[in-house]
Amino acid sequence: MDEKFLFEQVAETGRLLLEKRLVARTWGNFSAHLDEAHFVITPSGLGYEQMKADDMVRFSLADETWEGTRKPSSEKGIHAAAYQLFPEVGFVIHTHQAYATALGLTAPGQLSLTEAERAALGGVAWAEYGLPGTKKLKAAVTAALRTGAHTVLMRHHGALICGRDRSDALRRATLLEAVCRRSCRCCVPIPEAQDTDALLGRVREQFPNADAETGEASRAFSALGVPLRAQLDDAAQMIGARIPAAKNERELLALLKKSASVFLPGVGAIVCGEDAADTEALRVLTDKAAVAALHTRALGVGAELSLMDCVLMRQVYRLKYSKKKKE
């Protein structure tokens, strides 16, 4: 296949997945196999809305050198492992999709999967946690891929999906999310959605970029009236070690001074970023964190990230990714 076309395909993939809400901000990366010795991969820390073919990076499987105007994704190692283990794979997608990420926190037996679905996904395996871009994560994902599975759920992190081409990989990502959504547990009532316009009007007097996350999972978790301790590393990056819970509007306003996301019963959550794009990413991350928390809570599974991992992820975001997005 024409190399220029593959560069354009990889650049476009982020926008396609944004539309499906399978990725947010810069969390996730995509690549295409160019030849036996090379693949093209998305750059590190660049927002998907602005990615162009010229931003893509050509990476060598042989000596791990790269060509391009930007640095390759820090997750290049797990993409390389997929191409080295599976010569038939032509496209790899790493997403942070909500329900697949939630199911990655629990045991394989919690995934309700028919044999036909397992075959369509190319097999499914679980990988233990490692901080993004580390040798530990690459080793864990490589071990999972060595089982023969073309779809890997990464604990606390997301999913890696290998396909013959982009169409195959996107189809698997969509199927995976449907299967995981069906398997996800939620044993608390989901309150009816309320009109938040008046509340947001008052909140925006102090926090102009504020918005409401009123998804079912956020509404259900907010009704519990408890803070959410971080289980997912992308939420830890952008929000911190926990999402607090307010009892009323007064507490909400006080907590928003310290946290970018706050749960509020009857609403779901109020989030506030530095700009509109930040705020939208926070909405996605908050609802995804609520999905995961409800699932693990229903199963009695403790899946919180360590405080040290949360601190490290937050520092990485502040010092690296948030700055790159503004470039």
- Residue 321 has what DSSP assignment? I
Beta carbons within 8 Å of 186's beta carbon, 6+ residues apart:
217, 220, 294, 295, 298
Do the domains 197-325 and 3-179 match in fold? yes
Domain residue spans of the chain: 3-179, 197-325
Structural element, H or E, at residue 9: helix 3-19
Other Cβ atoms less than 10 A from the Cβ of 189: the count is 9
pLDDT at 18: 85
| Total-model pTM | 0.92
Identify the pLDDT of residue 324: 52
| 14-44 residue pLDDT tens | 889 888 878 877 778 999 999 999 999 999 8
Q: What is the dihedral of CA 207, 209, 210, 216, to 10 degrees?
A: -170
pLDDT tens digits, 219-255: 999 999 999 999 999 999 999 999 999 999 999 999 9
CATH code reported for the domain at 197-325: 3.40.225.10
CATH topology of domain 3-179: L-fuculose-1-phosphate Aldolase (3.40.225)
